């Protein structure tokens, strides 16, 4: 029997090497059936064949065969966490989200240190429930204002109510306290509809009928007759971005009675011109970078991806300077159908004239709104107000040319309500060059850029010991190949680099031409589809890689390419940069992180909501600017080993310096380009790499003077997570 099983393995390997993955898979399964003791020896290669086979089947859209293969594989390896994770990824790919959740969760139950299924489970949760739900539900100011407004307007035993975009059903439950005749909630999300049904039943409100549909797909028959009171909170930072005007126009036409009322009653949007270099550097190439690139007169802006504004917590920007008094852009009465319709169909721009209050410059415009829920109750998102609702951020209209102004000068800005979404009209006549966020952020990281500049002389000396500069070949896979550009200007022979998009490639070529570098020396790979094969058997004198994405996580494709380049394509004695990358962490408590990940029932009028919504908590947050994060440090920063280390578990005993409740571990990186150049931390203003946060659930009470046992767990592909061992704390 053993001999036959071994022969089957040999045949399976031969079939696999010739690309016959389906037959190879069958032979592995047959071998395992005949000799189960062989399974552990050949599990890795069996899984590799299954991955290749399913890739072929996925291309042919043969979904049933993929899951049939996984079923046979799980029969052979019922507790294999890698297979469970792989199944979950395919379920996720084909939109079987609850099933994917179950498989990722099962893998974690078997091995809690496995990183990939935890990241994948977070992705499922983020997809099913967007993070803003947590922030909105935890906003007591908003919640109490809506509660009071509904109680002020509702007519007990009379109203037929409709909660549009009901979410968890909170407003509908407020409405139930007013004893309406009927109450219906609708929501386009199946997840939110299911949650609303669970939550309303849990809170003994069976009279609330929840419909899984966008309100604009319904008529009054679908909701049980004409509605006399409609409630909604379908607003974004720019007020109208969630299509509230279209929604309420339809409600007036198809869902409401002639005397029906809407909460909010009215809304008003305000705009203020500001000077904030820190904010502006997120969207436009700064003068320092343009001078280094020898394009000082160019206007270089971020790719907008059809977004007309961004969203930020403006009150956190300490260098924000208001250059004029805010002005009201528009006001709309949600109880007046004609006003809604005229606002929605208006084609003329709204013009605002601002009078500068001091000398300076205007490089962005910010917007916020007031919701006049009733004549007596108002919600504001004004970042200057201590009583603002924090459920919404502020809008940032970033796509304009900075303008110098003198005190008393009048400046005009024009806005359109374009398809129901506010848009700032361009204030320029000259060309604007577009580049990806990755390229812009990298070049605007002036500290890192200056470190690269400062390393060029030493690099040239170092490389000069192994080859003449004129025959030096460079690979630079940073978001912009600044190192490669500077080395070509020194006389290097060639450069291979990568551009995120075609517009980045065009920008690269423009810059290289502006610096007198022949494009014949340049090879630009575009996008993410290229692999290690592009380098063939070539060897390079210097290789500069970036293994992180903008959001602060390891970019696995970049990590794999970097490792292959270092191992197989670096000339003996050549230079690999950065020379060292260290993971740094810090134990903290942050209320901001808490309200964005955990619902506390005291914030939702003590309705039982948290136990249902908190199933969608995640264990990691990205895109965190630590300079804008409010937190209490519970430890000093500490090192958790090298990022590209082969060590799969790294444990540190961390002294606790402040007593408090640990709910997060901040994580960033120290980069050392080469010896004697020094380190640079990514935990600083304008770093092109954001911070990431590992969330602790449940929270852990730490006492000053004690130690916390912290572990970094790393998968073979380089992805990692940071955990606390509560048994040792």
**Contact between 1 and 34 (Cβ < 8 Å):** yes
**Span between the terminal Cα atoms of the chain, in Å:** 52
pLDDT in tens, 206-259: 999 999 999 999 999 999 999 999 999 999 999 999 999 999 999 999 999 999
**Among residues 205, 196, 146, which one has the least CA distance to residue 168?**
196
pLDDT classification of 97: cutoffs 50, 70, 90: very high
pLDDT 10s digits, 145-155:
999 999 999 99
DSSP 3-state of 296? coil
pLDDT band at residue 10 using 50, 70 and 90 as cut-offs: confident
Nearest residue to 683 (alpha-carbon basis) of 670, 697, 699, 696? 670
Q: Are the C-beta atoms of residues 211 and 146 closer than 8 Å to each other?
A: no
Residue 285: which of 481, 506, 434 has the closest Cα?
A: 434
Q: Could you give the CA distance from residue 273 to residue 225 in angstroms, rounded to a whole number?
A: 46
Helices 21-34 and 63-76, packing angle to 10 deg: 20
Q: Give the integer Cα–Cα distance in Å for 254 and 258.
A: 11
Q: Which residue has the tokens 């709204």?
A: 350
3-state secondary structure of 365: strand
> What pLDDT was estimated at residue 635?
98
DSSP 634-654: SS--EEEEETT-S-SEEEEEE
Please say if the pLDDT value at position 455 is more than 70: yes
pLDDT at 306: 86
Residue matched to tokens 């049939």:
68
Contact of 271 with 326, CB cutoff 8 Å: yes
- Note whether 558 and 548 are within 8 A (CB): yes
Tokens standing for 162? Answer: 């409709």
pLDDT the model gives residue 656: 97
- Give me the percent of the chain exceeding a pLDDT of 70: 99
List, for residues 421-454, the tens digit of each pLDDT value: 999 999 888 889 999 999 999 999 999 999 999 9
| pLDDT tops 80 at residue 5 | no
Taking residue 324's Cβ as centre, other Cβ atoms within 10 Å add up to 22
Q: Is it the case that residue 729 has pLDDT exceeding 80?
A: no
Whole-prediction pTM value? Answer: 0.94
Rounded Cα distance between 25 and 27, Å, is: 5
In the chain, the percentage of residues whose pLDDT exceeds 90 is: 89
Is pLDDT above 70 for 420? yes
Q: Which pLDDT band, with edges at 50, 70 and 90, does 395 fall under?
A: very high
Please answer whether residues 121 and 197 qualify as being in contact, where contact means their C-beta atoms are separated by less than 8 angstroms. Answer: no
How much is the average pLDDT of 614-628? 95
Q: Read off the pLDDT of residues 158-191 as tens digits, 9 standing for 90 and up.
A: 999 999 999 999 999 999 999 999 999 999 999 9
* Three-state DSSP class for residue 718: coil
Q: Which DSSP symbol is given to 382?
A: -
Residue 425 per-residue DSSP state: P
As given in the structure block, the two tokens for residue 583 are 């993971």
Whether the pLDDT of residue 676 is over 80: the answer is no
Mean pLDDT across the stretch 408-420? 92
Backbone phi and psi for residue 140, each to the nearest 5 degrees, phi listed first: -65, -35
- Supply 18's token pair: 């010739």
Pairwise CA distance, residues 146 & 374, whole Å: 9
What is the per-residue pLDDT across 472-528, written as a single tens digit (0 to 9) for each? 999 999 999 999 999 999 999 999 999 999 999 999 999 999 999 999 999 999 998
Give the bridge partners for 652, in sequence order.
710
Residue 70, pLDDT above cutoff 70: yes
**Residue 582 confidence (pLDDT) above 70:** yes
SS3 label, residue 495: strand
- Residue-wise pLDDT for 355-374, tens only, equals 999 999 999 999 999 999 99
Residue 31 has pLDDT above 90, yes or no: no
Instruction: Measure the CA–CA gap between 534 and 215, rounded to whole angstroms.
Output: 51
Average pLDDT for residues 101-108, to the nearest whole number? 97
Distance CA 35, CA 39 (A): 8
**Helix, strand or coil, per DSSP, at residue 48:** helix
Check residue 267 and give its pLDDT: 98
Average pLDDT, stretch 374-401? 97
Q: How far is CA 713 from the centre of its chain?
A: 22
Comparing 102-116, 565-579, 635-649, 680-694, which segment has the lowest mean pLDDT?
Answer: 635-649
What is the CB neighbour count within 10 angstroms for residue 335? 18
Mean model confidence pLDDT for the chain: 95
DSSP 308: S
H/E segment holding residue 87 = helix 81-93
pLDDT band at 725 (very low <50, low <70, confident <90, very high): confident
Q: CA dist 520 to 494, 509, 536, Å?
A: 8, 11, 19
**pLDDT value, residue 327:** 98
3-state secondary structure 513-548: HHCCCCHHHEEEEECCCCCHHHHCCCCEEEEECCCE
Per the listing, tokens 């003068």 go with 287
Beta strand residue intervals within 188-322, DSSP E: 208-212, 227-232, 256-263, 266-275, 300-302, 310-312, 321-322
Contact predicate 24/16, CB 8 Å: yes
Strand-pairing partners, residue 322, are 274
CB atoms within 10 A of CB 294: 15
What is the reported pLDDT for 349?
96
The answer, yes or no, to whether residue 727 has pLDDT greater than 70, is: no
Supply the DSSP symbol for 348: S
Q: How far apart are CA 244 and CA 235, in angstroms?
A: 7
What one-character-per-residue DSSP string does 477-493 give? -SSS-HHHHHHHHTT-S
Q: Residues 6 or more apart from 420 whose CB is under 8 A from it?
A: 240, 243, 244, 245, 246, 344
pLDDT at residue 645 tops 80: no
pLDDT at res. 698: 92
Residue 1 has pLDDT above 80, yes or no: no
Average pLDDT, stretch 584-604? 97
């Amino acid at each position: 029997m053993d001999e036959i099983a071994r022969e089957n393995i040999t045949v399976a390997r031969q079939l696999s090497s010739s690309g016959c993955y389906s037959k190879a898979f069958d032979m592995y399964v047959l071998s395992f059936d005949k000799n189960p003791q062989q399974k552990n020896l050949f599990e890795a290669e069996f899984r590799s064949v299954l991955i290749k086979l399913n890739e072929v089947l996925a291309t042919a859209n043969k979904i049933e065969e993929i899951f049939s293969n996984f079923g046979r594989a799980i029969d052979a390896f019922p507790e294999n966490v890698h297979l469970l994770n792989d199944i979950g990824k395919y379920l996720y790919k084909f939109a079987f989200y609850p099933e994917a959740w179950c498989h990722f969760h099962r893998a974690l139950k078997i091995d809690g240190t496995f990183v990939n299924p935890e990241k994948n489970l977070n992705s499922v949760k983020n997809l099913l429930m967007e993070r803003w739900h947590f922030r909105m539900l935890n906003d007591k100011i908003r919640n109490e204002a809506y509660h009071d407004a509904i109680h002020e307007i509702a007519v007990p035993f009379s109203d037929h109510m409709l909660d549009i975009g009901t979410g968890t059903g909170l407003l509908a439950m407020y409405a139930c306290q007013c004893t309406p005749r009927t109450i219906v909630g609708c929501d386009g999300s199946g997840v939110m509809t299911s949650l609303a049904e669970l939550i309303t039943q849990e809170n003994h409100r069976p009279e609330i009928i929840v419909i899984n549909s966008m309100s604009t797909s319904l008529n009054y028959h679908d909701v049980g007759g004409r509605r006399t009171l409609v409630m909604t909170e379908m607003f974004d930072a720019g007020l109208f971005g969630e299509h509230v005007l279209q929604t309420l126009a339809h409600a007036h036409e198809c869902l409401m009675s002639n005397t029906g009322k809407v909460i909010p009653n009215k809304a008003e949007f305000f705009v203020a011109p500001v000077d904030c270099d820190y904010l502006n550097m997120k969207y436009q190439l700064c003068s320092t970078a343009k001078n280094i690139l020898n394009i000082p007169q160019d206007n270089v802006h971020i790719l907008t991806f059809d977004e007309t504004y961004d969203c930020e917590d403006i009150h956190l920007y300490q260098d924000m300077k208001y250059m004029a008094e805010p002005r009201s852009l528009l006001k709309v009465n949600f109880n007046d159908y004609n006003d809604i319709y005229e606002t929605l169909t208006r084609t003329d721009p709204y013009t605002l004239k601002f009078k500068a209050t001091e000398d300076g410059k205007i490089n962005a415009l910010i917007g916020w709104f007031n919701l006049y829920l009733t004549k007596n109750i108002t919600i504001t998102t004004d970042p200057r107000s201590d009583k603002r609702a924090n459920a919404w951020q502020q809008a940032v209209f970033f796509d304009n040319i900075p303008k110098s102004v003198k005190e008393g000068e009048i400046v005009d800005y024009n806005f359109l309500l374009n398809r129901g979404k506010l848009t700032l009209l361009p204030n320029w006549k000259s060309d604007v060059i577009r580049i990806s966020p990755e390229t812009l952020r990298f070049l605007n990281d002036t500290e890192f850029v200056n470190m690269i500049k400062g390393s060029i002389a030493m690099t040239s000396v170092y490389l000069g010991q192994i080859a003449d500069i004129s025959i030096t070949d460079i690979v630079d896979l940073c978001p912009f190949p600044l190192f490669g550009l500077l080395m070509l200007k020194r006389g290097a022979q060639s450069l291979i680099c990568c551009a995120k998009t075609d517009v980045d490639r065009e920008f690269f070529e423009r810059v290289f031409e502006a610096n007198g570098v022949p494009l014949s020396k340049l090879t630009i790979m575009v996008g993410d589809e290229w692999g290690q094969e592009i380098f063939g058997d070539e060897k390079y004198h210097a290789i500069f890689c970036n293994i992180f994405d903008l959001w602060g996580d390891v970019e696995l494709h970049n990590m794999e390419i970097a490792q292959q380049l270092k191992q197989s394509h670096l000339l003996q004695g050549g230079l690999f940069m950065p020379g060292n990358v260290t993971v740094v962490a810090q134990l903290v408590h942050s209320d901001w992180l808490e309200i964005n990940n955990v619902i506390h029932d005291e914030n939702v009028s003590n309705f039982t909501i948290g136990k249902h919504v908190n199933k969608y908590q995640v264990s990691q947050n990205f895109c965190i600017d630590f300079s804008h994060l409010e937190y209490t440090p519970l430890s000093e920063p500490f090192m958790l080993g090298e990022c590209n280390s082969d060590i799969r578990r790294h444990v540190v005993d961390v002294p606790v310096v402040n007593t408090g409740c640990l709910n997060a571990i901040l994580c960033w990186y120290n980069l050392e380009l080469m010896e004697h150049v020094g380190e640079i931390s990514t935990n600083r203003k304008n770093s092109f790499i954001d911070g990431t946060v590992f969330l602790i659930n449940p929270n852990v009470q730490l006492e000053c003077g004690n130690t916390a046992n912290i572990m970094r767990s790393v998968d073979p592909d380089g992805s990692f997570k940071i955990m606390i061992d509560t048994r040792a704390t």
